A and B are shown apart, each in its own frame.
Chain A
Amino acid sequence: VLTQSPGTLSLSPGERATLSCRASQSVTSNYLAWYQQKPGQAPRLLIYGASTRATGISDRFSGSGSGTDFTLTISRLEPEDSAVYYCQQYGSSPWTFGQGTKVEIK
């Protein structure tokens, strides 16, 4: 089970967002991904392998962590970062998602 916190984060443009994803057991090989989903759109891969940015993703997005505790950091928030962010483990079957963190830009 992946548990994300907080449920909602409300921040101003330029601030830093820190999103947490905690696994109930160690994630195999740190195969932990982060996705961004905006309303009415499909999810978009941001980070894989806990810390590697996917192709074309801004360096404002960074991932860290290992084992059971992982973090997605969005530095210098921009209005377009308003979305729901999901973590996912893909190291063991079945792949599972966290419940999501909604980031609101004030």
Chain B
Amino acid sequence: EVQLVESGGGLVRPGGSLRLSCAASGFKFSSYWMHWVRQAPGKGLVWVSRINTDGSSATYADSVKGRFTISRDNAKNTLYLQMSRLRADDTAVYYCARVGIGARPLDYWGQGAQVTVSS
């Protein structure tokens, strides 16, 4: 069974840093592109970042470029999102999601990690 489990969320002050992790199981992690998507309270889904299978290529939304870094450890079957210089508008539930094989979108999602940026 495919499982994605996020961890590392919490309350952080503006300007602070936080690292989210996404532990993958039930599939060959190293064969799949992975994404992060966030959802602010009461709002819609917003794409954040993506990374290719070996971690050599990453793309970011303009709103997080230069502040967030996506990475992966295929030996540990884990995806990361390092977030720095956090702002109040980064407050959201952060989901990791897997890109399906064969021109498919995000076919499996984690349960989400809450990140709250507040003083």
Point out residues on A near B: beta carbons under 8 Å.
29, 31, 33, 35, 37, 41-45, 48-49, 54, 86, 88, 90, 93-100
**What's the nearest-Cβ distance from chain B to residue A86, in Å?**
6
Beta-carbon contact of B100 and A48 below 8 Å: yes
Chain B residues whose CB sits within 8 angstroms of the CB of A90 once the complex forms: 105-106
The interface on chain B, measured as residues whose beta carbon lies within 8 A of the other chain's beta carbons, has a size of: 20
Please tell me which stretch of B10-18, B41-49, B68-76 contacts chain A, meaning at least 4 of its Cβ atoms lie within 8 angstroms of it.
Answer: B41-49
Q: How far is the CA of A72 from the CA of B46 in the complex (A)?
A: 20
Beta-carbon contact of B110 and A31 below 8 Å: no
Which of A41, A90, A93, A98 has the most chain B CB atoms inside 10 A of its CB? Answer: A90
The number of residue pairs between A and B whose CB atoms lie closer than 8 Å in the complex comes to 55
Chain A residues whose CB sits within 8 angstroms of the CB of B45 once the complex forms: 35, 37, 43, 86, 88, 97, 100
Beta-carbon contact of B107 and A54 below 8 Å: yes
B29 at the interface (CB under 8 A from A): no
Of all chain B residues, the one with the shortest Cβ separation from A41 is B111
Point out residues on B near A: beta carbons under 8 Å.
35, 37, 44-47, 50, 59, 61, 95, 100, 103-107, 109-112
User: Could you show 8 A-B contacts with beta carbons less than 8 Å apart?
Assistant: A31-B105, A35-B45, A35-B106, A45-B100, A45-B105, A45-B106, A49-B104, A93-B59
Q: How far is the CA of A105 from the CA of B104 in the complex (A)?
A: 30
| Residue from A31, A37, A54, A94 within 8 A of B61 (CB atoms) | A94
Chain B residues whose CB sits within 8 angstroms of the CB of A48 once the complex forms: 100, 104-105, 107
Known: A35-B106, A48-B100. 6 other contacts (CB 8 A): A31-B103, A42-B112, A45-B105, A88-B105, A93-B59, A95-B47
